[in-house]
Structure 1
């Protein structure tokens, strides 16, 4: 991940900085050390190495001396901070339409997570999946994004958002989270997400405006097409792998997702200096170290999750990656 970059709305970065500044902490020297020069224009985008963004969050958490940094960020991300996506959400006809809009176009604001919804009994369950290993900033990133989505739903429903429960797959301050989400919040669960009753998600919203929604949707689609054209094939393939919850898709299946032949996808990856196998190897490596660092899965479970039919093959691959077997892996110390 050290060479990857992340692009976010400048306003999101400013919120993190402002939280620290509000505590009386001088920020100029800190930001200069990180090489961050935020633009006061809230509509701009800022691109930085993933390692820099990660350090920004780690530092902010230490300055705050508060594990609730993600909730503090999410609380500030109101509907008017999300640009054209917020505009389209504001004009949506129903809560279901808001959810579907965010599922498709959340990537315009952040590519760190993917949002997916599915019906479960009498509820719509909205889940959030990491598009990259979020490492030791998993908690603030996930909490901030989920709370920001909750804020959008709260505004579009004029304060009547009926989220029934929220879950996170890590430890947290349930009492504080429940005060912000205004519903039960459970930590140390299987996944991040929330549920909405099916009985309410198709009720007309008072702020609905069909013309404005279609205008916003058109711009969102244009921005999505522009974003897709600017991304390398390797980045797109990697995202597909990390979004998969039931094993990694084959080269053939991945090519089908992009509406190209396997031979074409292979050729384009080769032109970028990589291959499907190389990307799969890198994704497995990063997920393996991430799973080991969480301490919640056995080596055998990790081997199975990464698609190895034989645990011995996983141990051999891990030793090639880290020069030690998985049972002896020691996570690097964070700075």
Structure 2
């Protein structure tokens, strides 16, 4: 919920290089791919340079069209190499424990790209590494996220003596063939889930990494901080959505309080949001809808409790709003989602 699409979203040149290298290993022509998505070799020479996310998204789309594989993303993920991911890949590998590596991944995820949000949730004895992508319904997104998930597994396996997944979860419905999924993830597979997620034993958080190198990690962290500081600041829209998510848990959000938190007047807040093509009311509605759909898909909370979590004073107000958004009641939406599972 903390992630909003932006025309300024970008990804690192290093991950774009890695994707191109993987495509070449699978028999595709690099020059043709570059030309088709409007990229120049000169844009990729510096591993810390940035490429517009929309351009890389076009690259993923092309790969989906040109790779003869039932799940092109899984094929690409198996051929991605850690090296081209530059500082973040090496930072993860040199971390003392898996928990330290995951914390670094969360802290510096923008260095790799702004095409989604990575988060970590501990639920009982399970650790959920969740990825929430921009444009989750696009075919190119499925390819991109499967490639990333496959790569993460490939990268973690040699770093731990006893790395294993409890479960892998995917937003899309179960495909006809699961062989490629089983080869990559080697665990229980769950489709039509609320999020893309890798689920690990929580005990692995403290597991030491084989390539741990604290002095090197400290140097890499300093470099990562410098690179992070050079990235454009998070948009006002993204900051507002983050604050809305925090306020919703305590009832109806207060626009005046939110503006004060941002050191802005309400008038200035509205004007600057309009400059970014949005409005407070639209962001509030979008955030509520995203959270409502996620909770209903998850299936653990009654609709009345979801209404409270979204800051509605009465469940009936939430029900009317949800019907306006989707054309369905919360119960109908949950039933339809259950049928897809």
Give the alignment's TM-score, normalised by structure 1: 0.71
Pick one of 99, 113, 116 that aligns with 2:116. 113
Provide the residue aligned with 2:268 in structure 1: 267
Provide the residue aligned with 1:87 in structure 2: 90
Mark the CA change 1:149 to 1:8 in structure 2 (over 3 Å): closer, same or farther.
Answer: same
**Contact (CA 8 Å) 2:127, 2:199: kept in 1 or not?**
yes
Instruction: State the Cα distance separating 1:315 from its structure 2 match.
Output: 6.8
User: Pairwise mapping of residues 231-242 of structure 1 onto structure 2 (< 5 A)?
Assistant: 231-237=234-240
Mark the CA change 1:119 to 1:272 in structure 2 (over 3 Å): closer, same or farther.
Answer: closer
- 3-state SS, counterpart of residue 200 of structure 1: helix
Pick one of 77, 81, 95 that aligns with 1:78. 81
Pick one of 163, 186, 192 that aligns with 2:190. 186
Deviations 1:92-111 (A, max 9, x none): 11111111111221121012
Q: Does 1:146 align with 2:152?
A: no
Mark the CA change 1:32 to 1:67 in structure 2 (over 3 Å): closer, same or farther.
Answer: same
- 3-state SS, counterpart of residue 194 of structure 1: strand
Separation (CA, whole Å) in 1 of partners of 2:51 and 2:59: 13
Q: Does 1:209 align with 2:210?
A: no
Instruction: State the Cα distance separating 1:168 from its structure 2 match.
Output: 0.6
User: Pairwise mapping of residues 225-304 of structure 1 onto structure 2 (< 5 A)?
Assistant: 225-227=229-231, 229-237=232-240, 251=255, 260-261=262-263, 263=264, 267=268, 270-271=271-272, 273-274=274-275, 278=279, 281=282
Provide the residue aligned with 2:334 in structure 1: none
Provide the residue aligned with 1:36 in structure 2: 39
Q: Does 1:164 align with 2:166?
A: yes
**Contact (CA 8 Å) 1:103, 1:115: kept in 2 or not?**
yes
Separation (CA, whole Å) in 1 of partners of 2:220 and 2:39: 31
Instruction: State the Cα distance separating 1:142 from its structure 2 match.
Output: 1.6
Separation (CA, whole Å) in 1 of partners of 2:6 and 2:254: 25
Provide the aligned length of Structure 1 versus Structure 2. 306
**Contact (CA 8 Å) 1:132, 1:242: kept in 2 or not?**
no
**Contact (CA 8 Å) 2:69, 2:75: kept in 1 or not?**
no
Separation (CA, whole Å) in 1 of partners of 2:104 and 2:248: 22
**Contact (CA 8 Å) 2:53, 2:114: kept in 1 or not?**
no
**Contact (CA 8 Å) 2:47, 2:86: kept in 1 or not?**
yes
Mark the CA change 1:184 to 1:250 in structure 2 (over 3 Å): closer, same or farther.
Answer: farther
Greater relative contact order, per chain length (Cα 8 Å cut-off, separation 6+): 2
Give the alignment's TM-score, normalised by structure 2: 0.70
Q: Does 1:224 align with 2:228?
A: yes
**Contact (CA 8 Å) 2:125, 2:202: kept in 1 or not?**
yes
- 3-state SS, counterpart of residue 184 of structure 2: helix
Instruction: State the Cα distance separating 1:32 from its structure 2 match.
Output: 3.0
Separation (CA, whole Å) in 2 of partners of 1:243 and 1:150: 31
Separation (CA, whole Å) in 2 of partners of 1:245 and 1:17: 42
In structure 1, stretches of 5+ residues that fail to align are 319-324, 328-335
RMSD: 4.2
Separation (CA, whole Å) in 1 of partners of 2:247 and 2:65: 33
Mark the CA change 1:103 to 1:248 in structure 2 (over 3 Å): closer, same or farther.
Answer: farther
Provide the residue aligned with 2:336 in structure 1: none
- 3-state SS, counterpart of residue 205 of structure 2: coil
In structure 2, stretches of 5+ residues that fail to align are 329-341
Instruction: State the Cα distance separating 1:184 from its structure 2 match.
Output: 3.0
